[in-house]
Amino acid sequence: MNRIEITFKAVGLVICLLFVLFSSQNQLIEYSIFFVALTFLGIPHGAIDHLTSEPEISKKGFLTFLISYVSLIACYLISWIFFPIFSLIAFLLMSGYHFGQTHFINRPVQKSAKALLYTSRGIFFLLLILSGDFELTQEILDPILNVSSLSQYLILILSGSLLLTIIVQWISKVKFTRSDLFELLVLAPILYFSPLMIGFIVYFSFWHALPSMISEYKFLKRYPNYNTVKKFAAQLIPFSVISLIGIALILILGMNYLNTSELILVFFILISLISFPHILYMDRFWNKATRTGRF
């Protein structure tokens, strides 16, 4: 873990602790932190999938990539319209795998163990975040799924999830590091007691997006077009801006018809749409880069 990553993760922990200790109910501060982190880390880390897929991509290759990317988004949108519960569960499982994968960057993991190891770790942290502010979670998910009956089983679910991810890592013969212990023993309870939006954005931005972006830079800096931070950052801008403008316009339109919790649900659905192809391309990138030692 490099110094930049450590610094940003420390900042994320301080943000969470401030909300936990002072129980701030100021939603303006909460949403401001959320959107700043989303704008500079969350969205940009997925804005160069075309380059991690093919660093020296041609115009024809880029067009093919774009058609494939948009087609995947369209298919998932159709799934959300006709099969919302299935799409929600699929999003949680995909996100669990994708987030969990970040915990094991640059660590040897047997191919047969990857799916369960990554998913169990990511799902554990997602469940922590969703359970810690369960009233808001219920309110957000209510248009799709009634989860109120789960409230009495939350401790059991979290305990089982923690035990599962520990057992899976042990069976997978992946050595427990100080980072693993810190995340499971320190980060986990801090995220649990944080407000939902703060817990999610700190975990998403500082424990997932930032390490992902660092791995992308390490891979791409071998190529002259991306071999400085300035050149790399310039590549993040176009699709980040397009994504942010698109999300903002839809949310602004929705403000006329939806309440706050419904807007949050729409926001996460929008994030899931752009996450679906990103998860597929990023998984292929990490597997290829790890296999060839190109980080």
Answer whether residue 294 shows pLDDT above 90.
no
Give the pLDDT of residue 180: 96
Give the pLDDT of residue 257: 85
Give the pLDDT of residue 150: 92
With a pLDDT cut of 90, the percent of the chain lying above it is 80
258: left (phi over 0), alpha (psi -120 to 50) or beta: beta
Confidence of residue 292 (pLDDT cuts 50, 70, 90): low
Across 163-183, average pLDDT: 96
Answer whether residue 291 shows pLDDT above 70.
no
Answer whether residue 43 shows pLDDT above 80.
yes
How far is the C-alpha of 41 from the C-alpha of 104, rounded, in Å? 19
Indicate the domain borders of the chain: 3-292
103-152 residue pLDDT tens:
998 888 998 999 999 999 999 999 999 999 899 999 999 999 999 899 99
Q: Tell me if residue 148 falls in helix, strand or coil.
A: helix
Across 53-59, average pLDDT: 91
Across 37-51, average pLDDT: 94
The whole-chain average pLDDT of the chain stands at 92
pTM above 0.95? no
How far is the C-alpha of 28 from the C-alpha of 258, rounded, in Å? 18
181-224 residue pLDDT tens:
999 999 999 999 999 999 999 999 999 999 999 999 999 999 99
Answer whether residue 295 shows pLDDT above 60.
no
Give the pLDDT of residue 162: 97
Answer whether residue 30 shows pLDDT above 80.
yes
Across 243-253, average pLDDT: 91
Output 167-175 pairs: Cβ under 8 A, ≥24 positions apart: 168/113, 168/116, 168/117, 168/120, 168/121, 169/117, 169/121, 171/113, 172/109, 172/110, 172/113, 172/116, 172/117, 173/110, 173/113, 174/104, 174/107, 174/108, 174/109, 174/113, 174/117
